[in-house]
Amino acid sequence: SSWAAALERPQPMQDTQGQQPVNFHRRVLPPSGIAFASTRGREVFAEALANGTLHCFFKLIEQFCTQAEPAYCGLGTLVMVLNALDIDPGRTWKGPWRWFHEGMLDCCEPLEDIRRRDITFDKLACLARCNGAVVDARRANASGSSGVVGGSEGGDGEGSPSLSDEERAFREAVRSVCSGDNAACCGGSSGRGHRFLVVSYSRREFGQTGDGHFSPVGGYHAGSDSVLLLDVARFKYPPHWVGLRALWRALCRTDPDTGKTRGYLLLSARKPGESRSDVLRVALRGPAGGGG
């Protein structure tokens, strides 16, 4: 609903000599983000690790992948999380191996449609439920955005009186997932008992190219009030830290394809014996609709 749509608009496709198609090798990360492997990015990571707010990072990094198509950010993110949750897909990938890959995720939307125009927020939640996850899908409330554009992210965090109830709930979800408060098996090798956070946001808030995108959240750094986005579009941007307040504003931006705000998903594995009908009890919160 974003990257793919941009590709379909008329684009200059030749160089100044009119010979070769235009192509790219990555993009420069704007100053709004701190690259994961940069000196500052490593310092932030070390501090977050010492503070115990990288609990979700390790299971996710075991499954970190590059999305298979330019519009597959939602599918790439979901595959990464489903495998991190140690969910058995019940069908084979290749040879005898049962393992999630993007080609399996076609039960809620045809893959060809996703390849052409990405996937909406609601359809991604549907795919997660169909493939064994418990989903708490929360729509961002645009009226809950601070309205501040730019400026420092640090020092204006959870204690700020300008935060809405919706933004506070989002911050609590980040804190819970990144600190492992929800994990029943902390320190274990299985992903079951863990919970992961996927954000649907607009890249434009960060001055990045494109618009709607999905990413898993890999950690939180209290000192800078920032989160680590494990961006599956690795051909474009590296994993990077962004301010949490700016991320909330990016969630509150409207998806032009649906006219609705974006949001976030809290994903966990079904408990043993829990059926798909049990999972469907979880209601989609906030205004209904999409945002890819």
Catalytic residues: 73, 213, 231
Give helix 165-179 / helix 244-252 axis angle, nearest 10°: 120
Tell how strand 133-139 and strand 263-269 pair up: antiparallel
CB atoms within 10 A of CB 72: 25
CA distance linking residue 237 with residue 210, whole number of Å: 12
CA distance linking residue 44 with residue 57, whole number of Å: 14
Among 251, 256, 262, 252, which residue's Cα sits nearest to residue 291?
Answer: 262
Helix (H) or strand (E) holding 165: helix 165-179
How many Cα atoms are found within 13 Å in the side-chain-facing hemisphere of 178?
Answer: 28
DSSP 19-65: -SB---S--PPPTTSEETTSHHHHHHHHHHHHTT--TTHHHHHHT--
Strand partners, 228: 219, 241
